Amino acid sequence: MQQHSTAPVARFFRVIAQAPLPARADRAAGGTLPARAAQYCDAVIQASGFGWWVYPPMDFSLVWDGQQVHWTYAGQEAWLPLDAAQFPHLARQFDAAAPARLRGTAPPFLTALPEPGVVQVWTGLFARTAPGWSLLMRAPANLPPAAGYVAYEGIVEADRWFGPVFTNIRLTRTGTAVRLRADVPFLQVQPLPRAAYADATLAAMEAVPGPEDLAAQDWDDYEASVAGPALRGDRTTGQYAVAARRRRRGECPFAAG
């Protein structure tokens, strides 16, 4: 059995006290997966559970009129034009904890970027990763897409850069408020070894142009995993999922795939 280090691959630091702590992403996508997918589709389950869910630090709303973004939150009756906005009362709390030389440097909570309808949102967290690891930040996998905005994806080398966990979102409709809730996952943050996206790795790809170019081993593997069970009539639902789970437990998967 492979031994795993107990040292964390990622460490999250809560800077906004009200921000929810990250949670392991749910393999059932918060119960939204169809029952058959949750039971039989290991590929979907693994993607859903890969990484950690990160949440907004509070409920708030954005509206874009095509030119200007405005925002508001509970207890604030007016819509405020957004340039760069601090999280309510954070500056005082941040300065009380920070060294004297860093007082007044709390990151903004929301920033309207120059691109139309694009807003940078800080989760209230900082992050650090183990050497050689980065963080891929993206919309939660296999959850229904959020209404009214899309999140940009980004990779941060958090072993070399220590600072806020944020993302940029693009508002996709005008004149209608878009609400983000602190109890709904906003991002899925996934650990990524830097070697996985290095140029040398991404250049190490080849494409086989047609079925006539498949080697004998390729046909044998296709027979074992797909065609063989179908031809014999002994293929059962979820065979791939069973084999994958056995491999993860260190057991020998069945030969038929």
Looking at every residue in the chain, the average pLDDT score rounds to: 89
Range with lowest mean pLDDT among 77-81, 83-87, 246-250: 246-250
Lowest-confidence segment of 71-75, 209-213, 215-219, 239-243 by average pLDDT: 239-243
- For the stretch 176-185, pLDDT in tens is 999 999 999 9
Question: What residues have CB less than 8 Å from 247, skipping those under 6 apart?
Answer: 253
Domain boundary among 152, 168, 194: 194
Question: Domain residues for 19?
Answer: 10-194
Question: How many domains are there within the chain?
Answer: 2
Q: Are the C-beta atoms of residues 123 and 166 closer than 8 Å to each other? A: yes
Specify the pLDDT at position 103: 97
Amino acid found at 217: Q
Q: Residue 25 pLDDT more than 90?
A: yes
Average pLDDT of span 8-15: 97
Q: What confidence tier does 19 reach under pLDDT thresholds 50, 70, 90?
A: very high
Per-residue pLDDT of 82-93, as tens digits, reads 999 999 999 999
Residues 216 and 114 grouped into a single domain: no
Distance CA 163, CA 125 (A): 8
This prediction has a pTM of 0.84
Question: Does a structural domain hold residue 183?
Answer: yes
Question: Is residue 199 domain-resident?
Answer: no
Helices and strands, number each (H, E), in the chain: 7, 15
**CA-CA distance, 216 to 211, in Å (whole number)?**
11
The full DSSP string for 108-149 is PSEEE-SSTTEEEEEEEEEEEE-TTEEEEEESPTTSPPPTTE
Do 178 and 51 reside in the same domain of the chain? yes
